[in-house]
Structure 1
Amino acid sequence: MVSEGNDNIQVVLTKPLSVDGDVAADYKAPNLVQRMLSLIRNIRPGSDLTNFQLPPLFNIPKSQLQCFGESAYCFSKNLLQQCNNAENSLDRFTSVVAWSISTTRSPSFGVAPYNPILGETHHVSRGSLNVLLEQVSHHPPVSALHATDEKENIELIWCQQPVPKFYGTRVEAEVLGKRQLKLLNHGETYMMNSPKLMIRFLPPRVDWIGKVKISCQETGLEAELCYITSSLLGRRGEHRVKGKIYQSSSMKTLYEVEGYWSSIVKAKDINSGKETIIYDAKEVFSELKTPIVKDLQGIWPTESTAVWSEVSKGILSKNWTKAREAKSTVEDNQRKLAKERVSKGETWVPNHFTVSDSKEDGWDCSPIQERVPPAPIVVPL
């Protein structure tokens, strides 16, 4: 969807990514051979790769900032509401574990979203949930997210910094940064991290791996989850997760958690042996709706869907020359602005977050505003 409004600002909105990272139905990536030939044509022997731009053939029509935001606001079943309305602390914690699993979405192999530019924003509302993201650093790439739900009295504060490392046949990206979920009605704050993203070349596949820890200091409950990739010959969709929920003071296990984050996850009560489905991906992802523009005049020039609109239009229409030229315009302008700041001795400061960086704890992003205002882009209910 393309819309024009504030000073001819255009936005391009596409369908959300599915749980398995399938690209929007209105876009189908060219085959891998075509993309590799395009990559070879864009690299000249002996050329300097410092400022090399990935051809748009390898991009999906979204920014990484949008993909990050979608994990918070694109869902069919509102698990955040379930977290808030659970009757007791253990049920709330179990619901938070299920919600954390629901934010796991795997990108498709061989394509990637745009790298967000410095200061890029993404502002979307779904019902009473208002979500605001900002790219607070470009080198290294750091994204910040703040979301508030006025009705449920819930707050999310996330900071994300992917750190990729190459291991010959695969790339593993550790996702640094703190993630907080606050259930303000209950005075509970849940701290958690993200699993690692693994891109394997032979056979080609993308998956989440590694450990996730979720803790709530107020209730003394903790969870450890392990995301496990399938074997080399494993089928697409085999995305295992297993772990436990336990009391931190006694280390007593209360529930064992096991299943597939792309389908069903169950929790087994250690005392009774009873198994309960705590997460069903089909319920969460069955009918994801594309956001729409509600207030054209309210869209900022820094909005992701506006910054990359010309590139996205080129990709969707398969006009690769137009897409490449538009992408070069965006990236060249950013390099120009960066040089101007250096020449003037200026330091860029985020508009919506205060940030700090320490060697021990990594990046920490704190929202400037107490509440996120309603957005000009909304997800239909």
Structure 2
Amino acid sequence: MRILWHTQTCYKLRFVAEQVSHHPPISCFYCECKERRLCVSTHVWTKSKFMGMSVGVSMIGEGVLRLLEHGEEYVFTLPSAYARSILTIPWVELGGKVSINCAKTGYSATVIFHTKPFYGGKVHRVTAEVKHNPTNTIVCKAHGEWNGTLEFTYNNGETKVIDTTTLPVYPKRIRPLEKQGPMESRNLWREVTRYLRLGDIDAATEQKRRLEEKQRVEERKRENLRTPWKPKYFIQEGDGWVYFNPLWKAH
């Protein structure tokens, strides 16, 4: 899938995602803004478990944010996601600890997404602190709701408040289906999507079965020919994956 955003400041944000492996199901994401000379590359696969009335999904992998103007790389992990009350009125929350590290500057951050207690408590709470490792100094602390208001307190006494609900939301631009490749998500799943919108679950299930069977046949052909699956946009490097033409290599 390839997506493009245009912001009010005339910046273009380009995004591409691809599933690069089926076993395990690894997905890769790459996003860049050439005007600001920054890019993000992430690879992740999920591990799910049922917990009574909830489903938990662990995000295994990491991402790297590169600020080319400063020559800095920030390596970060991802929080887990939880679907709650799956048999009644479902809702979703994030939970777990996220780490962010920059080797060049010596700064690191720990962000904790707090899950809602069984009785009482707020949803979507988050706390964080930023540390300068060479001096072992906490330079900033933050708390609030990740989808609401966040308050930052710096070690010099300064405070800053960000209300995420007031931040602008820009619509994404995706090429029309007729201009998409055969393996792009909206094109590949278009018949399943069409029947879901019509409310015909049986027809959607049948279209999904046909698509998955076609993919299984293609996989058996590759196995017989001993031809490994080759992703289109990402290349494996060590234990991770990178975009084939990232901004940090092109400049």
**C-alpha distance 145-292 of structure 1, shift in aligned 2 (>3 A):** closer
Name the counterpart of 1:289: 171
1:157-196 correspondence runs (5 A): 157-168=41-52, 170-196=54-80
CA shift digits 1:333-353 (9 cap, x unpaired) = 111111222222221121221
The separation in 2 between residues aligned to 1:161 and 1:290, in whole angstroms, is 24
Is 1:280 equivalent to 2:163 in the alignment?
A: yes
- CA apart distance, 1:371: 4.4
SS of 1:139 mapped into structure 2 = coil
Higher strand share: 2
> How many residues align structurally?
241
Is 1:232 equivalent to 2:118 in the alignment?
A: yes
1:8-87 correspondence runs (5 A): none
Q: Is the 8 A contact 2:93 2:123 kept in 1?
A: no
Higher helix share: 1
**TM-score under structure 2 length normalisation:** 0.86
- CA apart distance, 1:241: 0.3
Is 1:313 equivalent to 2:197 in the alignment?
A: no
Amino acid at match of 1:145: F
What's the C-alpha RMSD, in Å, of the aligned pairs? 2.4
Name the counterpart of 2:9: none
The separation in 1 between residues aligned to 2:26 and 2:39, in whole angstroms, is 20
SS of 1:350 mapped into structure 2 = coil
Unaligned runs of 5+ residues in structure 1 are 1-121, 358-362, 373-381
Q: Is the 8 A contact 2:5 2:172 kept in 1?
A: no
Amino acid at match of 2:246: E
- CA apart distance, 1:306: 0.5
1:218 corresponds, among 81, 95, 104, to 104
The separation in 1 between residues aligned to 2:236 and 2:51, in whole angstroms, is 31
**C-alpha distance 370-225 of structure 1, shift in aligned 2 (>3 A):** closer
- CA apart distance, 1:206: 2.5
Name the counterpart of 2:223: 342
**C-alpha distance 367-225 of structure 1, shift in aligned 2 (>3 A):** same
Amino acid at match of 1:231: P
CA shift digits 1:133-174 (9 cap, x unpaired) = 111001111011122222111111111111223445543322
Q: Is the 8 A contact 2:149 2:163 kept in 1?
A: yes
The separation in 1 between residues aligned to 2:120 and 2:19, in whole angstroms, is 36
Is 1:263 equivalent to 2:148 in the alignment?
A: yes
The separation in 2 between residues aligned to 1:318 and 1:157, in whole angstroms, is 36
Q: Is the 8 A contact 1:238 1:262 kept in 2?
A: no
Q: Is the 8 A contact 1:144 1:158 kept in 2?
A: yes
Q: Structure with the greater relative contact order (CA < 8 A, sep ≥ 6): 1 or 2?
A: 1
The separation in 1 between residues aligned to 2:41 and 2:75, in whole angstroms, is 10
Name the counterpart of 1:156: 40
Amino acid at match of 1:134: E
Q: Indicate the percent of aligned positions where both proteins have the same amino acid.
A: 25
**C-alpha distance 233-288 of structure 1, shift in aligned 2 (>3 A):** farther
